[in-house]
Amino acid sequence: MRKVVKAAQSKKRRIIQQHTRPTAMKFIYSFSEGKADMKSILGGKGAVLADMTRIGLPVPPGFTVTTETCHFYHTQKKYPEGFWNDFDIYLKALEKKSGKGFGSETNPLLVSVRSGAAVSMPGMMDTILNLGLNDKTIQGLIKKTRNERFCYDAYRRFVNMFGNVVLGISHEKFEEAMDGVKKAAGAKLDTELGVKELKRLVELYKRLVEKETGEDFPTDPYTQLKLAVEAVFKSWNNQRAKTYRKIHNITGLLGTAVNIQSMVFGNMGETSGTGVAFTRNPSNGEKEFYGEFLMNAQGEDVVAGIRTPQKISELKKIMPRVYSQLLEIQKKLELHYKNMQDIEFTIEDGKLFILQSRNGKRTAQAAIKIAVDMVKEKLISQNEAALQVDPMQLNQLLHPAIPASHRGKILCKGLPASPGAAVGKVVFTPEDACKWTENAQKVILVRKETSPEDIQGMFTAQGILTSMGGMTSHAAVVCRGMGKPCVAGCAAIQVDTKKKVFICGEIVVREGDTITLNGSTGEIILGEVELMEPKMSNDFKLFMSWVDKIRKLRVRTNADTPHDAKVARDFGAEGIGLCRTEHMFFQEDRIPKMREMILAKDTAGRKRALEKLLPLQREDFIGIFTAMDGFPVTIRLLDPPLHEFLPTTHGQVENLAIAMGVTIDDVKRVADGLHEINPMLGHRGCRLAVTYPEIYEMQVRAIIEAAIAAHNIGVKVLPEIEVPIIGMAAELKLIRRLVEEIINRYQNEIKFTVKIGTMIELPRACLTADELAPYADFFSFGTNDLTQMTFGFSRDDVGKFLPAYLDKGLLERDPSETIDRKGVGELMKICVKLGRSVKPKLEIGICGEHGGEPLSEEFCHKIGMNYVSCSPYRVPIARLAAAQAQLKFPRKASTSSA
């Protein structure tokens, strides 16, 4: 035993050494060394900069500090040994390539310091431009450029960014100083400020730094650079970045890379500029060169919404040669990456530079259209198209819209930055958006412009309205990624965050007032407009037909009513994987009969009450069988404990006693008798049938009679009866015998097959699946219960501590949202293997909430399951996720075990 432990400890030490030994790491890659397939090490931005350099695009030179270095920094609380020596070597190489000197007082090299994770997280981490400026190097820059105004504009921007990002000083404090200088100069825009005012701003900013930090602004360029690198590394764990990763389920990354790049300047005058462009329209997917730019500006001005930019088509009039060059480059990039590209560019004194290209964020409507169009253009295959669309984005296609016939009062109009419609009460801060949402209020977040710090409020709001910014502003990009409606750059409104009002002409809209946003048209409507359900486009139908040809997993739905079943079938569901019979008993005309059954003193009394429920259940099942004509319908027999059907307040108890003709004490006595310390582990599911078999007897009769009735009117019925909370083969054997006895009563009328199976939701069921399989025609994983039983987490109480587990990294993801592969997943694999060792063609599905979650579905595909079942509105998501799972992990037979 000691030898085994010693060997394990030795292996662990080797693994740790591999992750901490600095000599095994390459910390830095120049843009000419990196490759496109190195995203995990260089980050998305670094890998693309290297790739664009390789294919000959005009990319300013630079180098990338790896994500592995960031990981080392965070885990070891220091830089790897030898890192700064390597850094100096690459910095000197950059000086040589650019022909400039970092810190030179005659020909200074200025650099940008940008983050770049392997997965795009726009605006969530930090950027610093113009680094290397101080009171001496600026003089060299002035002599070199002969443009004093540009130099001091770059200097004030640098102090502002460095002060905010590295030194942690609020951006608003710099803005206050800017507003004061503009007011004194009688200027509306920062471009109207002269050299004198810009010099004044630099001094004011430095004083602000000294006041806030107690120290002078750092003037040594090397010190500035080291502090900037550290700040970008630290920004990996800032709150907005963590929130973004949580919202978008981004896990498993090492950290952020840091890109050090020679500066090019868009703020050198009217022959310089900067912009963001997309190779196709990210809102609707149309094939058009789409974007915005600003002359005499730096990149942050466009996305921050400080000035309202011009449409990219206007650049053709101002700089036709540059525009023509940009058109050629955007075509080359889209052809190269076979995806719609989001391109950042800068024009320095008439010369074009490409600073970044990445797969562009787009709405679901745009994603579908772009994928379909690219297939038609023969740029990509149908399989590649299926991989281009994020399954979770399809949620956006189900967003309601504003009918053209609405009679609401249009208050004003902004830019249609992200499509869809939203109704909510106006709030003015992200904190209030979160607070009001927690109190079950739907809100619209109204801001002058949004910033990365607003991310949580943007996530909880129904939609976003900004008075500044454009179609590529932070608000627009983030909302398109989230699938939220956004109206941006609405210059007609004046937002006063302190007074919590916005003004449009003579109309004042206050906090708490209701407005409606139309993100597709840019209209802001006073009051609430009733929204209409969306319709699926022909492109969507074509795209989903490709998806269905690829996937092996079938997709069913969880539906308890004919309406839900119809909705799901319209979305492409191939049956019902879970029909919860208990939901039917809670309806107003049924709950008294259910309570009568519970209060009955003997079996005869319970049967009398159940006879009243039987025709109601039968009618429900007829409707569901009819809606699912030709597809299987899995009906779960009663699962929850009986106390859930009883009233809880004194008034309700009194009313029940009167209605039932019993005393209040009688009701209380029954309720006390049903009370359980832990009802989720108590008298529920199949255990009810062991003690009260008449309950399941009534339900099976209702199912069979409904199936017969539906069959007799021409419906093809495929009923599947599911027994919940099975932990032992003896239980399933007993309940199956009960169900079969009832079915046999109707043997002369049954012209269809009835399957009997079980829900797998207890760890013991997984571990003894080979014993259960002889009595089951199918297994269906109930992963909601299986997860809480495996972890020992009560899903009703887990909210008290789960956020801390996630914040402290004890769990990467909430296990109720995505399958925990190491624990729950391992049990599922064992279950599939054992079950099919007895019945090789045993049908196995999943009907928990995980059934509609793409990563969980990928796991279900890999372990050889037959189907997933999810809520009706998640069916399209599940269909696409199943196709992507097949493309990533091809399998032949749908019942093979992995």
**DSSP-derived secondary structure for 634-697:** EEEPP-S-GGGGS--SHHHHHHHHHHHT--HHHHHHHHHHH--SSGGGSS-THHHHHH-HHHHH
CA distances from 313 to 292, 309, 328, 881 (A): 8, 12, 14, 37
* CB-based burial, 440-467: b 16+ in 10 Å, e otherwise: eebbbbbbbbbbbebbbbbbbbbbbbbb
List, for residues 288-302, the tens digit of each pLDDT value.
999 999 998 876 766
Whether this model's pTM surpasses 0.95: no
474 is catalytic: yes
Catalytic residue among 70, 412, 479, 847: 847
- Identity of the residue numbered 634: T
Work out the average pLDDT over 435-440.
92
Query: What pLDDT shows up at residue 17?
Result: 41
pLDDT for 2 beyond 50: no
Return the pLDDT at 124: 64
Mean pLDDT of 234-244: 81
Name the active-site residue from 71, 399, 474, 861: 474
pLDDT-derived band at 898 (thresholds 50, 70, 90) equals very low
In this prediction, residue 885 carries a pLDDT of 97
Least confident of 15-24, 435-444, 565-574, 786-795: 15-24
CA separation (Å) from 452 to 77, 157, 243, 448, 673? 26, 18, 10, 14, 55
Quick: pLDDT tens for 71-101.
999 999 999 999 999 999 999 999 999 999 9
Pick from 22-36, 170-184, 649-663 the range whose average pLDDT is largest.
Answer: 170-184
721-747 pLDDT, tens per residue? 999 999 999 999 999 999 999 999 999
Going by pLDDT thresholds of 50, 70 and 90, the confidence category of residue 802 is confident
Tell me if 239 sits within 8 A of 216, measured CB to CB.
no
The mean pLDDT value for 129-148 works out to 93
| Confidence (pLDDT) at 1 | 39
Q: Residue 265: is its pLDDT beyond 60?
A: yes
Does residue 504 carry a catalytic annotation? Answer: no
Is pLDDT at 895 greater than 60 in this prediction?
Answer: no
Which of 22-26, 411-415, 576-580, 798-802 is least confident? 22-26
**Neighbouring-strand partners of residue 412:** 524
Assess whether pLDDT exceeds 60 at residue 127: yes
The SS3 assignment for 281 reads coil
Q: Which of 152-161, 361-370, 679-688, 793-802 has the lowest mean pLDDT?
A: 793-802
223: pLDDT strictly greater than 50: yes
Number of CB atoms found within 10 A of residue 507's CB: 13
Task: Calculate what percentage of the chain has a pLDDT beyond 90.
Answer: 64
**pLDDT confidence bin for 859, thresholds 50/70/90:** very high
Output the pLDDT for position 133: 95
The pLDDT assigned to 675 comes to 81
Least confident of 35-44, 451-460, 519-528: 451-460
Residue 217: pLDDT band (50, 70, 90) is very high
Average pLDDT of the residues of the chain:
89
- CA angle, corner 686, sides to 684 and 687, nearest 5? 55
Of residues 585 and 756, more confidently modeled: 756
pLDDT in tens, 352-389: 999 999 999 888 889 999 999 999 999 999 999 999 99
**Least confident among 393-407, 692-706, 866-880:** 393-407
DSSP class per residue in 560-596: SSHHHHHHHHHTT--SEEEEETHHHHTSTTTHHHHHH
